[in-house]
Amino acid sequence: MRTRTLASSLAAAGALALGPGVLLSRMLHRAGFDPATDRLPEPYTVRVTAIAPGRLTLRPAPGAPPNAHLEPGRYLLDAARGQASLGPILETNGVVAIRAYHHLLGSLRAGDLARLDPFAYPGDPRQAHGLAFEEVQIHAPLGSFPAWYIPGQRDTWAIMVHGKGANRRETLRLLPLLTAVGFPALAITYRNDEGCPPAPGGRYTYGRDEYEELEAAIQFALGLGAQRILLVGYSMGGAICLSLMERSDLAPRVAGLILDAPMLDLRSTIAHGARQRRIPVRYLAISNRIAARRYRFDWDDFDYRRTAIDLQVPVLLFHGDADPVVPVATSDSLAAARPDIVRYVRVPAAGHVRSWNVDPEGYADAVQHYLAALA
């Protein structure tokens, strides 16, 4: 009787431990691996309460985080009826914030709901910066993938890779700094992007497979006369760049990397997210195993820390110390391990891929110095 009771207790304890693990593995798949989640519309987080010449007053939208209107830095204010360039906070009492403002498109009115778009610029290279560009097709094993091609005079090309759930507009903040000094540039797409071929399994693989589209983009550039390649990667785009450095025969063509909040290790990123949501990290030991078995992947395929440490080309690394998505500690470790090749710009108060937004002048200065040395 005692043995049966003990067995029953152990079974019940196992079920209690397994239950959160199963739930977390499903949450992980939905938030981390399912592209459909990233295609849901971004919610409106702020409400416009007043508009004056050069000044716009915001407060949080109903149900939004209470500090949504206090995000530091520069953004694109995106509303249903219009868009504006939104600058730093000029005044705030916490309840409302008055920010620098420049009208761009449509009409904005007091009462409108809007969102702060960190990509900062609307449209495409021409609309954002007046840059001539072509929409080209990159032919990869899975099919054709659109890319923006901005011509330049140099034989080193910049190939720019956006992050998970983002799009090519993510590159618009950096793009004019590259073209100003003559770098031709490609802002590419990859599998599971909206309008692009899906992955065979329909899931993100954090660079393990997406690097094939980047490899095809390098081949495209080489076919048009490129001699060297500068890789630019944001968040998961950084993982894709490092996956190429690990897996591709074209890696020797890469002359340098600019990485912005790169996802260097998915396990660390998942643990960081759990801590942000106050989920006990001990549950991850179970949920990670369940997820790997259910969705048929190996966590080691998404760990690029050793690849990054073993790089032999110069790296410009940006990361905000308030990043809620990718732990800044992973970039700290890379910078500490390779001070000989890594120039590290750790930006106070910057969230995920927000280093430019918080300090655009400092960001530009770091990029310009890096590009001068790369040339």
Report the mean per-residue pLDDT for the chain: 92
Would you list the domain boundaries of the chain? 46-117, 125-265+303-374
Q: For 209-253, write each residue's pLDDT tens digit.
A: 999 999 999 999 999 999 999 999 999 999 999 999 999 999 999
**pLDDT on residue 3:** 37
User: Are 341 and 283 spatial neighbours (Cβ–Cβ below 8 Å)?
Assistant: no
Q: For 133-174, write each residue's pLDDT tens digit.
A: 999 999 999 999 999 999 999 999 999 999 999 999 999 999
Distances (CA, A) of 113 to 23, 90, 182, 213: 34, 20, 40, 37
**Residue of 21, 32, 30 whose CA lies nearest to 268:** 32
How many other CB atoms are there within 10 angstroms of residue 14's CB atom? 11
Distances (CA, A) of 357 to 2, 75, 80: 64, 7, 22
Q: For 31-75, write each residue's pLDDT tens digit.
A: 888 999 998 889 999 999 999 999 999 999 999 999 999 999 999
Fold entry, domain 125-265+303-374: Rossmann fold (3.40.50)
How many other CB atoms are there within 10 angstroms of residue 157's CB atom? 29
**Residue of 170, 46, 40 whose CA lies nearest to 108:** 46
Q: For 76-100, write each residue's pLDDT tens digit.
A: 999 999 999 999 999 999 999 999 9
Domains 46-117 and 125-265+303-374 belong to one CATH topology: no
**pLDDT on residue 367:** 98
CA distance 230 to 256: 5
Say which CATH class 46-117 falls into: mainly beta
pTM: 0.92
| Burial tier of 182 (Cβ tally within 10 Å: 0-12, 13-18, 19+) | middle
